[in-house]
């Protein structure tokens, strides 16, 4: 099946050349800064750790081989949330339906890394470093993206934030980045009697090694803590209709929304959600995958609602280290595979479309005879967000060794 050949970030400052002039489904865009330079842009990256099953997340229900390969864990056509007659969402992703209909949500299928490793550690390292197959890269692509983006007039110690106990590989590098499990842990609980005093927290951070929590100077740490205090998590109330699940991931996105809305200078944010490695009893419309998809989609939908007007200048990209095998295994689960699915959500996103070239699931079309083949390099999607949304001045430094100039996924429509 041929998937629509369109880019998916929108604004009138973009001019799109004809798709016939460029190989593949990517189209070249001419970018003019114009009034965009005055707007605050936010990029949020969500990592689905454990290798999510893209074939059961965005289901190719128009592909007969999908059903023959997965007799016990497939998503029946009657249960699929149809998108375009060929692809459909898992029913647990119903929270994404309004975003799709409003054209804020785009999907890239058969996306992933060109490296064929099926080892979680190596694959995650390659995705976060942005250099597949190269283990010697010292920093992460999101840190390099921040370094190459225009700096705001007002310096912020919270320019890059992460929900978690330590800095992930993706944000390691020269640019300061701040990691936290809970905002209240840093003595900013307002009337929270369990919150530690700022001074004690500051010293504790140093005693546990600063770099595990914040990459930056002591002054930046102190400024970050003061800024967190000003956010006052004890008084935060999400926007109306923003209903976060009571879960770890829901809480992570709720805290990200709070800091973003507090106008503390956040430009990039990162969160992850684990639990996707379903070798046994993955389930179909019900079960392990269904449960985590519900948490994932409801949390992200609440985050989007909570951002309010700020969502117009926000882009959220989701990714996983690799997909799952096309065939189910003998334990009604799926083993490690290759290509996967990526979601792109945002005000500038030209959504309501599934992008990419579908490789097919016939035996002759499978990668190494067992997996969905990669037809879109993950760096193509991320590079477009970095280039057009964050307005990177040096994309070749963000993704070294990768030619990101053959076309664009994204365009602005204003």
192 band by pLDDT with thresholds 50, 70 and 90? very low
Tens-place pLDDT, residues 158-185 = 899 999 888 999 999 999 898 888 877 6
Most confident range, picked from 63-67, 185-189, 216-220 = 63-67
Nearest to 39 by CA among 362, 347, 352: 347
CA 170 distance to own-chain centroid: 12
Measured between its terminal Cα atoms, the distance across the chain in Å is: 31
Q: What mean pLDDT is predicted for residues 17-34?
A: 26
pLDDT for the residue numbered 166: 87
337: pLDDT strictly greater than 80: yes
Q: What mean pLDDT is predicted for residues 181-191?
A: 54
pLDDT for the residue numbered 222: 65
300: pLDDT strictly greater than 80: yes
pLDDT for the residue numbered 21: 25
Nearest to 352 by CA among 164, 107, 112, 184: 107
Tens-place pLDDT, residues 218-262 = 566 666 667 666 666 667 899 999 999 999 999 999 999 999 998
pLDDT for the residue numbered 225: 67
Higher-confidence residue of 219 and 143: namely 143
pLDDT for the residue numbered 18: 25
pLDDT for the residue numbered 224: 66
Asked if residues 346 and 45 have their Cβ atoms less than 8 Å apart, the reply is no
Residues whose CB is less than 8 angstroms from the CB of residue 192 and which lie 6 or more positions away in sequence, other chains included: 184, 233, 234
List the single range of 3-7, 134-138, 158-162, 330-334 with lowest mean pLDDT. 3-7
Higher-confidence residue of 85 and 199: namely 85
133: pLDDT strictly greater than 80: yes
Q: What mean pLDDT is predicted for residues 120-146?
A: 96
Angstrom CA distances, 109 to 53, 83, 169, 288, 373, stand at 12, 13, 25, 22, 10
341: pLDDT strictly greater than 70: yes
DSSP states of 180-219: ES-GGGGS--TT-TTPPPHHHHHHHHHHT-GGGTEES-HH
28 band by pLDDT with thresholds 50, 70 and 90? very low
pLDDT for the residue numbered 185: 65
56: pLDDT strictly greater than 80: yes
Question: Phi/psi zone of residue 346: left (φ > 0), alpha (ψ -120 to 50 degrees), beta?
Answer: left
198 band by pLDDT with thresholds 50, 70 and 90? very low
152: pLDDT strictly greater than 90: no
pLDDT for the residue numbered 186: 55
2: pLDDT strictly greater than 80: no
70 band by pLDDT with thresholds 50, 70 and 90? very high
35: pLDDT strictly greater than 60: no
Can you tell me whether residue 35 is helix, strand or coil? helix
122: pLDDT strictly greater than 80: yes
pLDDT for the residue numbered 43: 97
Q: What mean pLDDT is predicted for residues 317-329?
A: 98
303: pLDDT strictly greater than 80: yes
Tens-place pLDDT, residues 95-116 = 999 999 999 999 999 999 999 9
320, containing H or E segment: strand 314-320
335: pLDDT strictly greater than 70: yes
pLDDT for the residue numbered 7: 52
**Kind of pairing, strands 160-163 and 268-273?**
parallel
Asked if residues 104 and 345 have their Cβ atoms less than 8 Å apart, the reply is yes
94: pLDDT strictly greater than 50: yes
12: pLDDT strictly greater than 70: no
Q: What mean pLDDT is predicted for residues 39-52?
A: 94
List the single range of 180-194, 264-278, 321-335, 363-377 with lowest mean pLDDT. 180-194
pLDDT for the residue numbered 182: 82
């Amino acid at each position: 099946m041929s998937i629509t050949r369109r880019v998916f970030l929108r604004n009138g400052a973009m001019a799109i050349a004809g798709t016939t002039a460029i190989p593949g489904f990517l189209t070249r865009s001419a970018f003019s800064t114009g009034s965009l330079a005055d707007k605050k842009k936010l990029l949020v990256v969500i990592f689905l750790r454990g290798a999510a099953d893209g074939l059961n997340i965005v289901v190719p229900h128009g592909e007969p081989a999908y059903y023959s390969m997965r007799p016990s864990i497939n998503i029946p056509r009657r249960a699929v949330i149809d998108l375009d007659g060929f692809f459909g969402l898992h029913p647990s992703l119903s929270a994404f339906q309004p975003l799709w209909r409003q054209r804020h949500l785009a999907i890239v299928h058969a996306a992933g890394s060109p490296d064929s490793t099926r080892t979680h550690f190596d694959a995650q390292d390659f995705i976060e470093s942005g250099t597949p197959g190269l283990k010697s890269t010292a920093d992460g692509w999101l840190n390099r993206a921040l370094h190459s983006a225009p700096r705001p007039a007002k310096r912020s110690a919270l320019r890059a934030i992460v929900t978690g106990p330590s800095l992930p590989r993706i944000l390691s590098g020269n640019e300061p980045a701040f990691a936290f499990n809970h905002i209240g842990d840093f003595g900013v609980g307002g009337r929270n009697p369990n919150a530690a005093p700022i001074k004690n927290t500051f010293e504790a951070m140093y005693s546990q090694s600063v770099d595990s929590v914040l990459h930056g100077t002591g002054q930046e740490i102190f400024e970050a803590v003061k800024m967190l205090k000003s956010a006052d998590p004890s008084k935060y109330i999400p926007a109306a209709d923003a209903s976060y699940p009571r879960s770890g991931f829901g809480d992570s996105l709720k805290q990200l929304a709070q800091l973003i809305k507090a106008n503390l200078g956040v430009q990039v944010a990162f969160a992850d959600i684990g639990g996707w490695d379903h070798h046994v009893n993955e389930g179909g419309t019900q079960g392990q995958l269904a449960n985590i998809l519900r948490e994932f989609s409801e949390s992200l939908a609440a985050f989007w609602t909570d951002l309010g007007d700020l969502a117009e200048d926000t882009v959220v990209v989701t990714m996983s280290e690799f997909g799952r095998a096309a065939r189910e295994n003998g334990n009604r689960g799926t083993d490690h595979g290759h290509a996967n699915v990526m979601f792109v959500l945002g005000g500038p996103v030209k959504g309501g479309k599934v992008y990419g070239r579908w490789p097919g699931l016939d035996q002759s079309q499978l990668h190494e005879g067992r997996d969905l083949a990669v037809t879109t390099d993950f760096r193509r999607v991320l590079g477009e967000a970095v280039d057009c949304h964050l307005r990177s001045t040096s994309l070749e430094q963000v993704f070294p060794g990768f030619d990101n100039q053959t076309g664009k996924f994204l365009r602005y429509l204003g």
